[in-house]
A and B are shown apart, each in its own frame.
Chain A
Amino acid sequence: MKVPVEMTINGRSYCGEVEPRQLLVHFIREEAGLTGTKVGCDTSQCGSCTVRLDGIGVKSCTALTVQADGSSITTIEGLSDGVELHPLQEAFWNKHGLQCGFCTPGMILAAAELLRTNPSPTRDEIRHGLEGNICRCTGYQNIVLAVEEAAGKMGGS
């Protein structure tokens, strides 16, 4: 009934026996105990659960744990090296890109994905790039400014 899985999250290896129907976000939160990744909805709309899976930003509520078997995942806890903040984290802090912080891990990972595919987005492109992530607190304005600042620091222009 249960299926063995193994994956690397933030550089550490995690294995477990899971039900085939288990969502990846639940493995990350419940089995690996990495609760920085959030669950904000049950229809894949909010983006709170965004992580990096084998280098690509994905909503971890849209994947099953078994589909991620053997993969390498980065969550918000692993985005910085533990000493320095990632430029996106720093920029969200500088620009007041968060209020309650619940959407923030997903928003930062989604922004990282945006900058991976478009290192120097315009403000308009940032707004479009983040349309899959919902924030109810900030009205998005400072999030856009934060992503712009981070893009500058990360070598885009």
Chain B
Amino acid sequence: MTMRVFGSGIRRREDPRLITGRASYTDDIKLQGMAHAAILRSPYAHARIRSVDTSGVEGQPGVLAVFTGEDTDGVLNGIPCAWLIPESDLKTPDHPAIAKDRVRYVGDAVAVVVAESRYEAEDALERIEVDYEPLEVVVSPREAAQDGAPQIHDDVPNNVAFTWALAGGDTDEAFSNADVTVGDTIMLQRLIANAMEPRSAIAQWVGPTGDLTLWSTSQNPHIARFLTSVVTGVPEHKVRVIAPEVGGGFGSKIPYYPDEAVTAFCSMKLGIPVKWTETRSEDYQITTQGRDHVEEVEMAATSDGKITGLRTTVYAGLGAYLSTASPGIPTILHGLMYSGPYDIPNISGTIYGVFNNGAPVDAYRGAGRPEATMLIERLVDLLAAKLDVDPVEVRRKNFIPAFEDGHDVATGITYDSGDYNATLDICLDAADYASLRARQADARKEGRHVGIGVGTYVEICGLGPSQVAGAVGFQGGLWESAIVRFHPTGKVNVMVGSSPHGQGEETTFAQIVAGEVGVDVDDVEVIHGDTDITPMGWGTYGSRTTAVSGAAVAVATRKIKEKSKALAAHLLEAAAEDIEYEGGRFFVRGSPDQHKTIQDIALMANVAWDMPEGMEPGLEASAFYDPPNFTYPFGAHLAVVEVDAQTGHVELQQYYAVDDCGVQINPMIVEGQVHGGVVQGAGPALWEGAVYDDDGQLLTGSMLDYALPRADLLPEIEVLSNTTPSPHHPLGVKGIGEAGTIASTAAVYNAVMDALRPLGVSGVDMPLTPEKVWRAINQSQNGG
């Protein structure tokens, strides 16, 4: 029975505490004597600070302290960027935790008040007087890069933080020889992650010992420990970071923020624990956002639809400062993915990373890959329209044929394995594509506008080989480690360095251990999120946790199995070569009665009464797993929409998702990841977008104004899959966390354009709100 546990959709082991309200998220934690911090934030998107007067705060009820940039200057180091992409002339302007002379986005920190309660701290903020001299503002990344645009950092001319170029083949030649070309300017609007748990930090400084503990809503506590050490100067071994229950992140809890540093500063100044928790409105202003691309793109092809070239110029908005990983997102995780599932011999791109007066931009679910998939899939559909062939046919014509172990693409990377026709076939079958098209034709006769959109993709995850990480400027490794510890009773603790926050790895990792050595899943407890208890890890993002951390768990468990075999041989007085394993039992070949269970072995190894010569006691193993390559999941999604031409309203009616994430450990969890991912990608196609006005004021500053997907707006998603194992992974796993988001924006967008094409509309900027769609229809009908 236990053997089947690997690969089955068992209920999650993390759920009992979550469904009963017994889980502790950061803001749920209350320490003895804890005070509360609230941060004063700039109401201007760009201004010089003439003065900050905090005298009105003194003596206010409950107030313990107030600090400004003058206090943190020289005490806290700048907030660092940790992805320094090479050969890009990258500029890394100073990012102070609290602004001293100048603010650069609405939400930039200007002062902090610590008080006995959150209410009192917020009251006191209102009594701080700041004299600002407003400066000119620029919001669009493309405009920010032009001559004469307002300068956000004095030492960054034209606001261009980096220029990163990519070239494979000869794109210019491909375009001059092309039978047809298509092009577009695609705006990928800023998105707000909206993890349902607002960010929070509690810092506890113990002066006499020099220990700093930070509870933090982090996706990567070990990175947070390192960066806390860098910013506060507390040595790394005296910093403990705990990511308790974390309520979603989607990338926005990767970065190290000024707020954590400021909270630590306050605790260190006052010698008491201090908590800071953002409000949702604060989250909208300060938590890193996603996308913000202006993509000028074109594709070259032959008259029979073979793609010969792809060329892009991308302006990627970075916000006011570099965030932890931001330079790597529109470059390594975006440009290198321009081939998608297609064989495109000539690819080039120039990507400008541009400062603009908004919240910093960093990884957001899919991080770079939805932006790449969107442009490729949009161009493929434009090409199909131009050649007047079915968009599915253009895809089939250009797909890389199935391969099991390595395929090089023009951007210089090597996909691990793929079968792109297979996922597309499954998708079209499930959707009954031919009848969908027939239904669409019938609807058109009735004057209704049904659209069918396909999004196929390849993504890069399982990040990644550390040597490559170093080569592309990531200031860390990308391996993972795990400790698997068998107790005398045969029960198991697994300690991992990754830090899941909703993805269910407490369950899948237990399934891995169960699958490898035949213990019951319920006998395995997975521990993560505390740098004092868990081994080193680089965190949970980029769909890497099951792929990389899970591999470490598998490798460590295999070491346990090897040792168990040797100990069983000794105890059964047989030669190690004669010991076989099946279903949790080690037995002498040919006599299954002569056996030891894994539990027997755990007991004997732990008491160590009778160990073979030279064997250490205990049954514990650790593994450090550095992947030999990235993994490349892929799939095909299809959306059906109907547009009401009178109102511009788009109804998402049907959705099919077919993903190949390699071997699945828990299909129920895989499916859940796809559901959530698809909705997070459909959101920006139809509803979501952060809007800043020309003054840099965030117009979508609350959940009232930012249109998050709600249950009643969505159809049921049909989820199917195929399995093409990763050839280089110990379990054949690839990763699934971001797939849905990567495919669905393009699928839904293409569906709406498919519906609008007979009306003469060929492009509308996302999100495709009724107003924009209605205007586009009207304009084209009026000959515009």
Interface residues of A (CB under 8 A from B): 19, 21-22, 29-30, 33-43, 45-46, 48, 75-77, 79-80, 85, 89, 92-94, 96, 98-105, 108, 123-124, 126-128, 130-131, 133-144
Chain B window 438-461, contacts with chain A (Cβ cutoff 8 Å), 1 for yes, 0 for no: 000000000000000000000000
Q: Which residues of B contact A141 (CB under 8 A)?
A: 675, 714, 716-717
Q: Which residues of A contact B15 (CB under 8 A)?
A: 92-93, 98, 101
B503 at the interface (CB under 8 A from A): yes
* Cβ–Cβ contact A99 & B676, under 8 A: yes
Chain B window 704-727, contacts with chain A (Cβ cutoff 8 Å), 1 for yes, 0 for no: 100011111010110000000000
B9, chain A: closest CB distance, angstroms: 8
Q: Given A19, A40, A75, A98, which contacts B18 in the complex, CB threshold below 8 Å?
A: A98
Interface residues of B (CB under 8 A from A): 9, 11-12, 14-16, 18-25, 27-28, 30, 119, 193-198, 245-248, 250, 279-281, 501-504, 668-669, 671-673, 675-680, 702-704, 708-712, 714, 716-717, 740
* Cβ–Cβ contact B12 & A136, under 8 A: no
Q: Which residues of B contact A40 (CB under 8 A)?
A: 196-198, 280
* Cβ–Cβ contact B198 & A100, under 8 A: no
Given contacts A40-B197, A102-B197, contact A93 B19 (CB under 8 A): yes
Q: How far is the CA of A39 from the CA of B22 in the complex (A)?
A: 15
Given contacts A35-B24, A46-B703, contact A101 B247 (CB under 8 A): yes
* Cβ–Cβ contact A85 & B196, under 8 A: no
Q: Given B246, B279, B503, B712, which contacts A131 in the complex, CB threshold below 8 Å?
A: B712
* Cβ–Cβ contact A108 & B19, under 8 A: yes
* Cβ–Cβ contact B245 & A101, under 8 A: yes
Q: List 17 A-B contacts (CB under 8 A).
A: A19-B119, A29-B28, A40-B280, A42-B702, A46-B196, A75-B21, A77-B21, A85-B20, A89-B20, A96-B9, A98-B18, A102-B197, A137-B196, A139-B675, A139-B740, A140-B679, A143-B711
Q: How far is the CA of A126 from the CA of B279 in the complex (A)?
A: 29
Q: Which residues of B contact A45 (CB under 8 A)?
A: 702-704
Q: How far is the CA of A134 from the CA of B687 in the complex (A)?
A: 15
8 closest A-B pairs by beta carbon, nearest first, are A36-B21, A102-B247, A100-B502, A101-B18, A76-B21, A139-B679, A139-B675, A45-B703
Among A38, A96, A103, the one with the most B-chain Cβ atoms within 10 Å of its Cβ is A96
Q: Which residues of B contact A41 (CB under 8 A)?
A: 280, 702-703
Q: Which residues of A contact B672 (CB under 8 A)?
A: 96, 99, 137-138, 142
Q: Which residues of A contact B675 (CB under 8 A)?
A: 138-142
Q: How far is the CA of A108 from the CA of B19 in the complex (A)?
A: 8
Q: How far is the CA of A39 from the CA of B704 in the complex (A)?
A: 16
* Cβ–Cβ contact B119 & A22, under 8 A: yes
Q: Which partner residue on chain A sits nearest B706 by CB separation?
A: A45
B253, chain A: closest CB distance, angstroms: 11
B36, chain A: closest CB distance, angstroms: 10
A29, chain B: closest CB distance, angstroms: 8
* Cβ–Cβ contact B668 & A96, under 8 A: yes
* Cβ–Cβ contact A35 & B21, under 8 A: yes
Q: Which residues of A contact B680 (CB under 8 A)?
A: 136, 139
Q: Which residues of A contact B23 (CB under 8 A)?
A: 101
* Cβ–Cβ contact A103 & B196, under 8 A: yes
Q: How far is the CA of A101 from the CA of B20 in the complex (A)?
A: 10
Q: How far is the CA of A130 from the CA of B710 in the complex (A)?
A: 8
A144, chain B: closest CB distance, angstroms: 7
* Cβ–Cβ contact B248 & A89, under 8 A: no
Q: How far is the CA of A70 from the CA of B227 in the complex (A)?
A: 49
* Cβ–Cβ contact A85 & B717, under 8 A: no
Q: How far is the CA of A143 from the CA of B119 in the complex (A)?
A: 35
Q: How far is the CA of A135 from the CA of B18 in the complex (A)?
A: 14
